Structures are given as structure tokens and as C-alpha cells.
Amino acid sequence: MTKLTLLAGLGLLLTLQIVASTKLVCYMANWAQYRPGNGKFTPENVDPFLCTHVIYSLATISPKNELTTIEYNDEIMYKSLNDLKNVNPQLKTMLSVGGTVNGISPFIKMVSTPETRKAFIRSAMLFLRAHNFDGLDIDWEYPGHNGSPPEDKQRFTTFIKELRLAIEQEAVDLKKTPFVLSCRVAAFTSTIENAYEIAAVSGLLDFLSIMTHEYHGHWDPVTGHNSPLYRSSFDSGNDVDMNINASVTYWLNGGAPADRVLVGFPTYGRTFTLKTADTGLGAPANGPAGAGPYTRDAGYWSYYEICPMESSATLGWIEEQKVPYAVQGNAWVGYDNRESFAAKVQWLNSMNLGGASVYTLDLDDFAGRFCYQGAYPLVTHLRNSLGFPPKPTTTPGPTTTADPLSSFCAGKPDGLYPNPADETTYFQCFRGNTYLQKCQPGLVFVDSCKCCDWP
């Protein structure tokens, strides 16, 4: 545990206690609801026991500098997502804000004056409480870039300081748990240098997710992997830093606490159209391969669009970078699989980092319809590799203290029910599925309060 002391605007001294813990933070995209057929994804597809945090992406900033929705049904989906905390009370949900309005980031205007920052912060506190979120994720790509003036680097730090102070004060005023504050941040070293005051910003965040999954893509003239762990022998010039190891090292050397740094794990791959018979890393390319049938966006394929072709495509492994690729016809795709996720986790643990950030849940085989590896094969493997305990599951068979009948919850409303065979456990019903939960050691389940308490 580290202490961070901030000087509040009214001369108050505020001490924040930030606990280091391993996290599995998973993003979900609100636009995934528009994918056809089996690609459609809504909060009902979220496994409430898979990730420690689920971040709903994306909200935006209104012309009045207030936090606001983007999609017509965002508020309905907010409720669906946050209702999952009735199933798993340990789950944290967050709202990500960012995007562009007419091609320009709304952060640029919002951070420009104390008054506009105050308007946003006040609206954000009210919005998050109203919709039962546990925190806010800042997704500005990036301060000092894409029309953002150089001084936004310092304004961003000021904004995060003011936001952190407001979060702590609001929690005191309402006697509530403070909101979690996080940020998606750049992976390219040149961008990081011009966008962030690393030590100041990272010290104010509960965690930061480095976007270590967009290093290469169809904008390059040759094939390259979008999320390599290390540099390759093909890399020269600026490309030597286009890898996870270089990005994370830069953040750490700049003063980011290791236990607040999360590595980005993509559940998609970047595609290229090959120009010649060369099919390896660094092969000449000419733009993206065709769009996937579900994601329908040229340049990338979801994992569930990639895995069915693994049986027919030519598969390769880039040993230097610990990542796979596949070639089918003149289409080349660099992607991640369970083997590359395991290699990245081993490296992540060696660096004592805070955990992993998945982008996104809806691009994994979330319903297990395509890869024949069960639901969420990539994220489940990532969870297991990080060493999280097994998820509670439905278990068919005879009723014992360890194995509830899968039919126990059939026809029952969602909620908590005592286990007559073992008072230290209880049944949790969710959408007709039965989950066996255990109380903390020494506690028993009390039906009157639907809670675990001392006997």
C-alpha cells in the first residue's frame, strides 16, 4: 500500500490509500450490439465472474462539457451490465469516456478552462451514481495530439488531479466508496513523451491500461504484428520500440508504479493483403484484407472470425516476439492465441505489474459458437494464467455440499438461497443457472439478510 498526498484547492490535505492488487479489466463495446447474427453482443453476454472489472465503452462529452451517452439505448444497457453485480457482488463496473465529435476529441475543449473541467467533473459524479457505476475510465487519444495543443499535456494532469480530489470529496460527503479512476494510455514512446506527465498522472490513477495492441496494421507497407511482446530482427529506427516490453519499460522508467500498470491484451488481429508470394513477417503488403463477416470493418478480425480458419490456413509463430500469425490466400493476420497470452502473462508477472486489460470481451468467442473451446476461450485462459481462483460454475449431478443440482434454480427468481446441506455455502440463481458460493471461513449463510455472518 502506498500513500499519495494531494493539496486540495481549499487548503485541505487529502490522503489517498491505494491498494495494489492484480486485476483483470475487460472492456465491452456498446457498438457490438449492431453486429449481425451470432456476432451481436450486449451486456447479457457478459460473464459476471470472468473479470474483476468490466468497462462499458463508450460515453462522450456534450457541448455543455458534461458526461453523456452515445447510443440510443445506453442507459438500458447500463442497467443490464450493473445488474450483474447482484450476481457477483465483487464485480466492479466502470464507464469509459472518449471518442471524437466531428473528428475532434471533446476533451480538448473540456480541459481548456477550470470552469469547463468543473462542469464535466460535477456531471460525471452525478452520472456515475445515477447509473450505479463503480468508476470512470478516461480514454483520450491523446493529449497533445490530433488537434490537441501541446499545453494539453499539463492540462491533462491538472484535470486528473481535480477529478481525483472530487472523487474523494464526493465519497466523504455521501459516505460512499470512492469511484475507481483509470485511463487508457498510449503505447508509442514518442506519443507518451508528448502526452503525459507520467509520474504525476499515474500516481493519481487506480490503474492505467497501456494500449499495447496497435503497434502494426494495414497502414504499414509490410506485415507486422499488432501486439508483439518483444522487438523483432526486422525492426529498425522507431520500430524498435513497437512492442510491449519497450512500452511498459518506458512507463515504468518515467515513474509509473508497476502495480498500477496493466498490459493490453487484444482479442482481435490486424490484417494485411500480401503483394507477393512472401508470407512471413515483414512481407510486402498493400492495405487490409477483406472485412470479417461479423465485425465488418476492413483491417481487423475478431478472434472468433480467426479461429475457424486455423484448421485450413497456414499458421506461423514469430518466436522472437512470442506471437502467432495466419495466412489464407493473400490475407495475412497477426493475432493472439492462448500460447501468446501465456507468454505475455509470464513476462507480466516477472515485471510485477498490476494485471491485464482486455480489449474487448465482444471480440473473443464469447458464446463458444465458433472456436469449440468453450465460452471466452482467450479471456478464460488469460484469467487462469494470471492465477485467479476458479469461477463458480453450474455443476450437474447429485446434490452434495460441493456440487449443487444444476436444476436447483430452474423456475426460481434470481437471488441467493440457503444450501440445506451446508450452511457455510449458499446457492446463487442467475438466469436459471445454479452457482455454489462459499462464505468466508468462520461465517455461515443467513437467509434473513441474504448474507454471510457469524454463527
For the chain, what's the residue count?
455
Measured CA angle at 78 (ends 73, 81), to 5 deg: 125
DSSP-derived secondary structure for 20-83: ---EEEEEEEGGGGGS-GGG---GGG--TTT-SEEEEEEEEE-TTS-EE--STTHHHHHHHHHG
Which of the residues 66, 71, 115, 141 is marked catalytic?
Answer: 141
**What is the C-alpha separation between 375 and 72, in angstroms, rounded?**
28
Report the candidate in 101, 103, 184, 117 with the shortest Cα–Cα distance to residue 155. 117
Per the listing, cell 491485464 goes with 356
**What is the C-alpha separation between 332 and 224, in angstroms, rounded?**
9
Residue 423 falls in the annotated catalytic set: no
**What is the C-alpha separation between 41 and 59, in angstroms, rounded?**
17
The cell for 375 is 465460452
CA gyration radius, the chain: 23
Alpha helices in 175-214 (DSSP H): 189-195, 198-204
Burial per residue of 2-21, b for 16 or more beta-carbon CB atoms within 10 angstroms, e otherwise: eeeeeeeeeeeeeebebebe
Helices 338-350 and 377-386, packing angle to 10 deg: 30
Q: Could you tell me if 142 and 101 are in contact, meaning their C-beta atoms sit under 8 angstroms apart? A: no
Q: What are all long-range contacts of 275-280, with beta carbons under 8 Å and residues at least 24 apart?
A: 279/314, 279/316, 279/327, 279/332, 280/223, 280/316
**What is the C-alpha separation between 340 and 356, in angstroms, rounded?**
14
Q: Could you tell me if 238 and 193 are in contact, meaning their C-beta atoms sit under 8 angstroms apart? A: no
Distances (CA, A) of 115 to 137, 167, 201, 262: 21, 17, 21, 32
Catalytic residue set: 141
